[in-house]
């Protein structure tokens, strides 16, 4: 997936015509799905580490289906969208609702990103095959919009706690 950084983004509209705000993203995160310092050193291990969080917190039952889906998604094109950010994502029958896990890598991980930069911010977005109000695409669109801003990326890199992570999204609007 190649992301074109532009100001215009219509993917963040919900079906009922309401535009998703950055602060609305906070409802898709959970403190239990936050890793301030990933242990993983590779793309595969980072996907596994974050998938383990989904299992440990009963978001999904087993990580096999999710890992297979995420790895399949990566074969279509890296979800390393550039500027040190990756947003692995997909729809799976294992997910009951749209959910985001977040992990930071201090040294960076080779995600085969479009700009070849190492990834330090990883957002794994899971969604069921169908979700109420089709929130999956607006969530992805708004997440890309937030991380597009250099100041937001720097704040995300500085976030040491879940509360600090949430503060970044709340301050953006």
pLDDT of residue 163 exceeding 80: yes
Q: Is residue 137 part of a domain?
A: yes
**Distance (Å, whole) CA 114 – CA 122:** 15
Q: What pLDDT score was predicted for residue 134?
A: 84
pLDDT, average across residues 34-48 = 97
Q: Is residue 101 part of a domain?
A: yes
Q: What pLDDT score was predicted for residue 18?
A: 55
Tokens representing 171 are: 């301050």
Place of tokens 């299992």: 55
Length of the chain: 173
Q: Is residue 17 part of a domain?
A: no
Q: Is residue 87 part of a domain?
A: yes
Tokens representing 131 are: 């979700």
Q: Which of 115, 130, 149 is nearest to 9 (CA)?
A: 149
Q: Tell me the per-residue pLDDT of 20-31, one tens digit each, with 9 for 90 and over.
A: 888 999 999 999
Q: Is residue 82 part of a domain?
A: yes
Q: Tell me the per-residue pLDDT of 88-126, one tens digit each, with 9 for 90 and over.
A: 999 999 999 999 999 999 999 999 999 999 999 999 999
Q: Which of 100, 84, 48 is nearest to 69 (CA)?
A: 48
Q: What pLDDT score was predicted for residue 62?
A: 86
Place of tokens 């998703």: 20
**Distance (Å, whole) CA 156 – CA 146:** 10
Provide the annotated active-site residues: 89
Structural domain of residue 28, as residue ranges?
Answer: 23-172
CATH code at position 136: 3.40.930.10
Q: Is the pTM of this model over 0.75?
A: yes
């Amino acid at each position: 997936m190649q992301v074109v950084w532009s100001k215009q983004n219509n993917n963040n509209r919900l079906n009922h015509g309401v535009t998703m705000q950055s602060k609305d993203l906070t409802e898709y995160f959970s403190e239990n799905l936050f890793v301030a310092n990933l242990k993983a050193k590779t793309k595969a291990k980072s996907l596994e580490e974050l998938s383990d969080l989904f299992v440990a917190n009963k978001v999904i039952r087993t990580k096999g289906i999710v890992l297979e889906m995420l790895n399949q998604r990566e074969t279509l094109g890296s979800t390393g969208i550039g500027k040190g950010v990756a947003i692995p994502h997909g729809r799976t029958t294992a997910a009951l609702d749209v959910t985001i896990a977040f992990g930071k890598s201090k040294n960076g991980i080779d995600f085969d990103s479009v700009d070849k930069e190492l990834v330090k911010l990883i957002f794994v977005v899971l969604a069921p095959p169908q979700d109420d109000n089709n929130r999956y695409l607006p969530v992805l669109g708004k997440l890309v919009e937030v991380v597009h801003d250099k100041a937001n990326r720097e704040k995300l890199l500085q976030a040491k706690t879940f509360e600090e992570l949430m503060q970044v999204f709340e301050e953006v609007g």
